[in-house]
Amino acid sequence: MAKIVNYISEAFEELKSNVTWPEWAEVQKLTIVVAIFSVLFALATWGVDEFFAKTLEGFFNWLKA
């Protein structure tokens, strides 16, 4: 158990002393960029999915006729 406590203690010390943390304004700006690209990627994926669904539906309707 002492090894686990020591590991966690050293990890927190590493985070406090050796990690360069970005400024809060930069974090907010980058979060907005990530959110916008996530929405755009989701919309693009939805669009491609709808296109292929309509294409396959049309193909199978054509086969039935």
Q: What pTM was estimated for this model as a whole?
A: 0.65
| Predicted confidence (pLDDT) at residue 46 exceeds the cutoff of 90 | yes
pLDDT per position as a tens digit, 12-45: 999 999 999 999 999 999 999 999 999 999 999 9
Confidence band of 65 (pLDDT split at 50, 70, 90): confident
Query: Which two tokens mark 7?
Result: 């590991």
Query: Which two tokens mark 1?
Result: 């158990």
Q: What is the average pLDDT across 42-54?
A: 98
Query: Which two tokens mark 11?
Result: 């990890």
3, 17, 18, 41, 52 from 24: Cα distances, Å? 34, 18, 18, 26, 42
Q: Helix, strand, or coil here: 21?
A: coil
Q: Which H/E stretch holds residue 62?
A: helix 24-64
